[in-house]
Each structure stands twice: as C-alpha cells, then as structure tokens.
Amino acid sequence: MDATKPKQSIYIILLLILAGEAIFVLPFVLARIFRPTFLEVFKINNFELGSCFSVYGVVALLSYFFGGSLADKYAPRTLMAVALFMTALGGFYMATFPSYTALKILFGYYGFTTIFLFWAPMIKATRVWGGQNKQGLAFGFLDGGRGLVAASFGSLGVLVFSYMLTVDVSAASLLERQDAFKYVVWISSGVVVLIGILVFYFLKPLSDSAETITQQSKVYTLENFKAVLKYPSVWLMMLIILCAYVGYKITDIFSLYAKDVLKFDAIKSAEIGTYLLYARPVTGITIGFLADRTRASLWIIIGFVIMLLSSLLFASGIISDNTIGLFVISIIFMAIGVYATRVLYFAIMEEATLPLAITGTAIGFISVVGYTPDIFAGPLIGLLLDNSPGELGHQHVFLGMAAFSVIGFAAAFTFSILTKKKIRTS
C-alpha cells in the first residue's frame, strides 16, 4: 500500500467528510432531526416512513453488491460527484411534497444514488488516505467529521425552519409548516450540489492514487469475490456492522422521544436531534486516535457494552419529563457507544489484513448483510411506536436495541480473538 499512498492532505479528508454526510442529508438527516415535522408535512405515520426507508434499503442491498466492484474500476471523484448531483435532484423533487407512493419511489432512487455510485468509493478513498497505520484516525475523522457536518446541516435547517415560520410553531398550520420545511429542503439540496462540484474538481489526487492501485492489481471481479469469501473475518464484520447499524438507526427516534415522552414542541425536539449529532465528531476523532494505539476491535467491543447499558436504561422507563438531566446524560452515553462502533467498523479491515486491491468488492459484500437494517429497522421501529403510542413504544424499541448490542458484542469479541491469533501466527 505504501508505494501508492498519497500525501495525507487535510483538504482531501475534509472533502471526503463533507461529501460523506451531504449525500445522506436528504434521505436520512432531515427525517432524523425533523421527524415529528417530517411526518406531518408529508402526511404519513411512523410505519409509512419506515416503509420508505425499506424501499431505500432494498435498492441499497443490490447497490452495495454491484457498486463495490464499480469502485474497484473507476475514479472515486467521478462516481461521488455524479452521486451528489443526482441526490440533489431528488431533493428538489422532494420539496414538492409528493404523495406517499411517490415518496417511496424517491427513497428507492436515493438508494441507488447514495449507495451504488457513492458508498464503496468513499470508503475505499478513506482507506487509501489512511495508509497502513492510520486507519482508526482516517475513519475517526471521516465519521466524526460527518457527524459535525450533519449537526451543521441540522442547525442550519432548524434556523431556516424557525425563521420561515411567521407565527409560533405551536400555532402554525400544516400549510405554513410545509412552506417553511420546503426552504430547508431547497437549501440542503443546493449545498449538496456545491459539494459535488468541489469533489469533482479537488479530489483528483486521491482518485489518481486509487486508480494506480487498481491498475496494479490483476485480479478480476469474479476472482475478487472468491478472494473475499475466504476471509472468516469478513462474515464477522457483516454481523458487527448489522448490529451497530441497528443502534444507529434507533438514534433516529430521539427527537420523537423528546416530543412523546418529554413533551417538547417541534422546534425543541428538532434541536435535541441536532445536539446529539455534536457528540459524533468528538467521539469519532477520540476513538479513532485511541484505536490506532491499541486495536480497533477492542473499542468496538467497548462500544457495544455502552450501547447495551444505555439502551437498558431507556427501556427501564425511569427517564421522564421530570428527569431531563438524566435524559441528557443518557443520550450522550448512548451516542458514545453507537458512534464508537460506527466509526471503526470499516477501520478493522486493516486488522483483518484484507488486500487493498479488493477493498471495494469486500465493502460491497460486507454491506449487503451489514446494512439490511435499512430494510427492516424502519418498519419495525415504526410498528413498535405506532402499536404502543407514547413511552411504552419507545421502551420496546430500546429493548430491541439491547438484544442487538449483545449479538454485536459476541461478534466483535470473536473477531478480536480471530485476528489476534492471525497476527501472532503471521
């Protein structure tokens, strides 16, 4: 890897960070931060929103599989820029508040633009930037920085939404809320276009390095898949990502939790969702730094333990509108656990000694199973919330999170033992 390793220019990782979160603002970040408002302005319930995420997930499932090989053939900057432009176009259509059926089709379109064209090139480019010894830091910067970008989009969105409402949010009509939210979507889409332009023109040095590595490899696509299948660690990574991603998907409901359980209004609940995102950059960079000095798999194990404890705390029902302080401490604690696992689940590819030349294929293969929560988590969460309105539904969701935390812990622990033995015998 060293022979083709590019200079670790700070502007390159900054571009990867900007692009890496901007691509997901329209399909995910806005719905996470503005969940109560999102449900109202599109006239859907939690299950229907979950169904939109499921359509996204089905398209993404195929996109992960085939998009991974694409990343081993073409320059990251070209694929990523086209993906950003196409996603922004979807955002401008989204601002017309299409019907529920059209919204599901739109989320399927997002599944193609954000995953088939974008996901594997971004992960591969980050691995190239990190080299052999800075994988934890590279992915820590990527995910932590993406958290800061998401929080910035959230803060901007809340500011625009509150500014465009000419009356108090509690007195605003549905039409007035739609009009205000339309500007949030428009501005977000415009920023995504701008970032796409920057990626195309300024990510060329890293793209050249990735292309050199690809040209040096004589491995064909089918042989790539055969090579990936031989690594037991790949199958464990699938399970680790699946469980960690379920935890991440559940953080989508914190703004709704603030509204249902703590009785916050639409703007204050959106602020809760935004504030949570600010824990992501701190956690990402800190955990990435520590992982490079120990082992990334160790911190994933710790992350799952924290997820388990914090989810059980929420499931217990002791958090209420009379214990706001405990709520704040608990979501910070949970955010640390969720983001710690999320930051590192691709950084451990180096620990698994996967060759760089088959990185794109490995990412696609791992993601096919690892990101299946995009299909089932949304409807399942929505069903639990709609069938048991209020605090009880949220408790059921967090019990599910606890179960996945246990499975993730077992997979991460097994991965750590397996790779440690491999290092000793190599």
Looking at residue 23, its pLDDT comes to 94
User: DSSP states of 85-132 as a string?
Assistant: HHHHHHHHHHTT---HHHHHHHHHHHHIIIIIIIIHHHHHHHHHHHTT
Residue 64, domain member (yes or no) = yes
The token pair that represents 233 in the structure block: 């660690």
Q: Which pLDDT tens digit goes with each residue over 267-276?
A: 787 777 777 7
Query: What is each CA distance from 45 to 37, 120, 127, 182, 375, in whole angstroms?
Result: 11, 32, 39, 19, 17
Number of folded domains in the chain?
1
Separation between Cα atoms, residue 224 and residue 382, nearest integer Å: 38
Looking at residue 364, its pLDDT comes to 76
Residue 2, domain member (yes or no) = no
* 9-33 burial: b if 16+ Cβ within 10 Å, else e: eeebbebbbbbbbbbbbbbbbbbbb
The token pair that represents 247 in the structure block: 């935890």
Residue 4, domain member (yes or no) = no
What is the CATH classification number for the domain harbouring 356? 1.20.1250.20
Looking at residue 181, its pLDDT comes to 93
Looking at residue 213, its pLDDT comes to 47
Closest CA to 391 of 271, 259, 264, 265: 259
Looking at residue 205, its pLDDT comes to 59
Residue 317, domain member (yes or no) = yes
Q: H or E stretch including 63? A: helix 46-71
The token pair that represents 358 in the structure block: 């088959």
Looking at residue 197, its pLDDT comes to 95
Residue 3, domain member (yes or no) = no
Q: Which residues contact 82 (CB under 8 A, 6 or more apart)?
A: 117, 196
Residue 78, domain member (yes or no) = yes
**Residue spans of the chain under pLDDT 70:** 1-8, 68-69, 71-72, 131-133, 169-171, 205-224, 356-357, 359, 421-426
Residue 1, domain member (yes or no) = no
User: DSSP states of 370-425 as a string?
Assistant: HTTHHHHHHHHHHHHHHHSTTHHHHHHHHHHHHHHHHHHHHHHHHHHHHHHHHHHH
Task: Identify the domain containing residue 31 by its residue range.
Answer: 9-425
Closest CA to 299 of 341, 351, 334: 341
0.75 cut: is pTM over it?
no
Contact 189, 91 (CB under 8 A): yes
Separation between Cα atoms, residue 241 and residue 151, nearest integer Å: 23
The number of C-alpha atoms within 13 Å of 158 and in the hemisphere containing its C-beta is 23
The token pair that represents 66 in the structure block: 């085939």
Residue 344, domain member (yes or no) = yes
Contact 408, 344 (CB under 8 A): no
Contact 321, 261 (CB under 8 A): yes
Q: Which pLDDT tens digit goes with each residue over 206-258?
A: 555 555 444 444 444 566 677 777 777 888 998 999 999 999 888 888 888 88
